[in-house]
A and B are shown apart, each in its own frame.
Chain A
């Protein structure tokens, strides 16, 4: 019954909005909750590490009696099979989805839901996907194949699940989730898969800004992975991928190892991203002149936060860079007896003219050796609510002041600092020393 279906969906989606997990996210149109876009971030420590895997989920009218249909969209236009169960056609073989014969306990039941589906899919992005192929689950001694398989997935993960989506996101104007046709009316270049009904909808991602933000967070890790690839895969450089026994020509993973090329593309993406961010203040100023709603709103929010800060004894200062409400400067002085004591941390917050569709980008300008701050100064923090800047400020302060954050690989943006921070006692001390040193420098 449709009514039953949508009521339950509403409950599930509301739950998603409340959850704070970083591993996946969903987007949908309020008017049609039965078409859901989902993105799973490849689990760290796997060949799919921090790749952006997009899925289109369709909810059948008799949901939850029937399972949703799920299609992988990150397939290199139907050419790449990302794993034994992630077909090039987009098919996701999963017993819970009824797309694969499974054992009794693994089949769909109304007790399952969106979250359990996404978790199951996430488990397909495993550290050893080779053994996920039916009949290969006991082939863990196939070390050569396993190594080669992981190696090419690692490469393609960077190429197709990180750089490609970013290039697309940069190439096309920032999108809310709603699909648009191209202005010149030409058919889109990407994603013209014949087996999908709405190709336009498919090449446009609902997660453009999400990916950009994550890309900046994880940039150091991507760079490390590429450096590592260049060093470790020198012998394979420009050689074609090895084919796995279960792969076929139409449903496999073909290509060549070329990390140097990836490096160039990654750097270009980074550059373009920064360029894009630095355009925001100019665009913003134009909006200020027009007295546009967003500009007025940001001004108001700034004023309000500053007044509130005055009433509290905050060890920080907030101002607008050149009076532009789209660039905020936050100066934070470390509290006495805290790890940040004596440090003056300067933070610059770039706010998009399309906020909150595009989220603010936060850069620490002072040298700060911190687990939540990447080498290029990008800070990872979680605002309680994404639409108001106040929550972003709170998120930033909380992140700075939290001396004992829980370990979360998806929040690791500074691999070196993270390794020290959660390492041995000696390493931990080293982390603190380096943090101190960076503060003194500031």
Chain B
């Protein structure tokens, strides 16, 4: 018998490839969900991964970083927040 798989319609789920923590420390929503300002996860609601190892929804972090009082620090570890190069 010769079996030919003509077409394979697969289903997959995606998830952010981040080291730790499921939940954004700022909005407390799962990373694979959306930050409070977004409606669609993924492209529209990107993540920022800090060199310190902490990740946040981009919008959440930007709100914080734009604040003078943040002094550009990571909300979790209070080191200077710099996002890893290579990720937008």
Chain A–chain B contact at Cβ < 8 A: yes
A residues bordering B, Cβ < 8 Å? 1, 3-4, 7-8, 11-12, 62, 64-66, 98, 104-105, 107-113
Are B27 and A104 neighbours in the complex by a CB distance under 8 Å? no
* B residues in contact (CB < 8 Å) with A: 25-29, 35-37, 60, 63-64, 67, 69-70, 73-76, 78
Whether A66 contacts B36 by the Cβ 8 Å rule is no
Residues of chain B contacted by A111 (CB below 8 angstroms)? 25-26, 75-76
Q: Does the CB pair A11–B28 fall under 8 Å?
A: yes
Expressed in whole angstroms, the Cα–Cα distance for A30 and B36 within the complex equals: 19
Contact B63 A107 (CB under 8 A): no
A4–B75 contact, CB under 8 A?
A: no
- Dominant SS among interface residues on chain B: loop
Q: A11-B28, A65-B63, A109-B64 are in contact. Are A1 and B69 (CB under 8 A)?
A: no
If A65-B64, A66-B67 touch, whether A7 touches B76 (CB-CB below 8 Å) is no
- The complex places the Cα of A17 from the Cα of B25 at a distance, in Å, of 20
Are B36 and A8 interface neighbours, CB within 8 A? yes
Tell me the total A-B contact number using a CB cutoff of 8 A: 57
Contact A110 B78 (CB under 8 A): no
In the bound complex, residues from chain B placing their C-beta under 8 Å from that of A4 are: 27, 35-37, 60, 63
Contact of A65 among B25, B29, B67, B78 (CB under 8 A): B67
CB neighbours (8 Å) of A113 from chain B are 28
**Interface pairs (20), CB distance under 8 Å:** A3-B37, A4-B35, A4-B60, A8-B26, A62-B63, A64-B27, A65-B63, A65-B64, A65-B67, A65-B70, A66-B67, A104-B73, A107-B78, A108-B69, A109-B73, A109-B75, A109-B76, A110-B60, A111-B26, A111-B76
Q: Contacts of A11 on B, CB cut-off 8 Å?
A: 28-29
Determine how close the nearest CB of chain B comes to the CB of A45; give it in whole angstroms.
32
Ranked nearest first, the 3 interchain pairs of A and B with the lowest CB-CB distance are A109-B75, A4-B36, A110-B26
Contacts of A66 in B (CB 8 A): 67, 69
CA of A64 to CA of B35, assembled, Å = 13
Would B27 and A8 count as touching, CB distance under 8 A? yes
The distance from the CB of A27 to the nearest CB of chain B, in whole angstroms, is: 22
In contact, B64 and A110 (Cβ under 8 angstroms) = yes
Please, which residues of chain B bring their CB within 8 A of the CB of A105?
Answer: 78
Task: Give the Cβ gap from B27 to chain A, nearest Cβ, in Å.
Answer: 5
Residues of chain A within 8 A (CB-CB) of B60 are 4, 110
Q: How far is the CB of B58 from chain A (nearest CB, A)?
A: 13
- Contact for A98 among B27, B69, B75, B76, CB less than 8 A: B69
Q: Closest Cβ of chain B: how far from A7's Cβ, in Å? A: 4
With the chains together, A7 CA to B57 CA distance in Å? 15
- In the complex, what residues of B have CB within 8 A of residue A65's CB? 63-64, 67, 70
* Chain B residues with CB under 8 A of A8: 26-28, 36
Q: In the complex the two chains form, is B27's CB within 8 Å of A1's CB?
A: no
User: Looking at A8, A11, A108, which has the most chain B CB atoms within 10 Å of its CB?
Assistant: A8
Q: Least Cβ distance of B59 to chain A in Å?
A: 8
Q: Please pick, from A3, A104, A108, the residue contacting B36 in the complex, using a CB distance under 8 A.
A: A3
Which residues of chain A have C-beta atoms less than 8 A from B37's C-beta?
1, 3-4
Which A residues touch B70, using CB under 8 A? 65, 109
Considering the complex, give the chain B residue whose CB is closest to the CB of A104: B78
B56 to chain A, nearest CB (A): 8
Q: How far is the CB of A114 from chain B (nearest CB, A)?
A: 11
Q: Which residue of B lies closest to A6 (CB)?
A: B36
4 additional A-B residue pairs with CB within 8 Å, beyond A111-B25, A112-B75: A4-B60, A64-B26, A65-B63, A108-B69
Q: Distance in Å from the Cβ of B7 to the closest Cβ of chain A?
A: 42
| Cβ–Cβ contact A110 & B25, under 8 A | yes
Q: In the complex, what's the smallest C-beta–C-beta distance from A268 to chain B, in angstroms?
A: 46
